[in-house]
Amino acid sequence: MGLEAKLTKDGFITTTIDAVIAWARKNSVYPMPMGISCCAIEMIAATDPKYDIARFGSEVMRFTPRQCDLMIVAGTVTYKMAQVVRRIYDQMPEPKWVIAMGACTSSGGMYRSYNVVQGIDQFLPVDVYTAGCPPRPENLLNALMTIQAKIGKTKARDFKDKPMVDLELARN
């Protein structure tokens, strides 16, 4: 293919650091599986061989936020859980992205009620909203591809010296 032919012929390619880093970054997005309710099942289904999220380099679901750069919020977020979700999000290193998976996280969904947050964008910066209740795995993969396209447009210096949120660890 193109790259190999180029390398065997000339032995070098020219590109920019931004392009290489964005390319590497978007093809190894580590998701934080914030599976709170039924959407989590579809999120798990997206990792199985039939849908195979590994095709996009995102098969490594890390169960610690400190190794992740994409939070998939999959499920109903109550006011009590919102504190936890935000706390986990704060522990993820920059740069980081958020998928609001399903109707509940996007808008409260069918839980139009006092205890459910009517959309997680009230306390998280959401990058992609996914429709469905729950969304099919294809829909999640589409959200991931949208995130990849977004990451592909970033420049390395956009995230330079971006501090982590003060975690107030003493509060625990």
Partner 1 sequence: MDTKEKIINSVKEKFGEAVVEISDFRNDLSITIAKDRLIDVAKFLKENPELQFVMCKDVTAIDWATRKNRFTTVYHIYSFKLNFTLRLKVNIEENPPAVESVVSIWPSAEWYERETFDMYGIEFLNHPDLRRMYMPESFEYHPLRKDFPLLGISGSMPLPEKME
* Binding residues among 50-69 for partner 1 as defined by CB under 8 A: none
Q: Say how far apart CA 34 and CA 170 lie, in whole Å.
A: 24
Bridge-partner residues for 71, per DSSP? Answer: 32, 98
Tokens at 134, concatenated: 């729950």
122 makes contact with partner 1 (CB under 8 A): yes
Q: Say how far apart CA 149 and CA 25 lie, in whole Å.
A: 11
In sequence order, the 6+-apart residues with CB closer than 8 A to the CB of 148 are 26, 27, 29, 56
Which one of 24-32, 99-107, 117-125, 144-152 is the stretch in contact with partner 1 (CB under 8 A)?
A: 117-125
Q: Which is nearer to partner 1, 59 or 121 (CB)?
A: 121
Q: Say how far apart CA 167 and CA 165 lie, in whole Å.
A: 6
Q: Which is nearer to partner 1, 63 or 114 (CB)?
A: 114
Binding-site member from 40, 117, 140, 151 for partner 1 (CB under 8 A)? 117
Binding-site member from 46, 99, 124, 151 for partner 1 (CB under 8 A)? 124
- Please report, as ranges, the residues that interact with partner 1 according to CB under 8 A: 79-80, 82-83, 86-87, 112-115, 117, 122-125
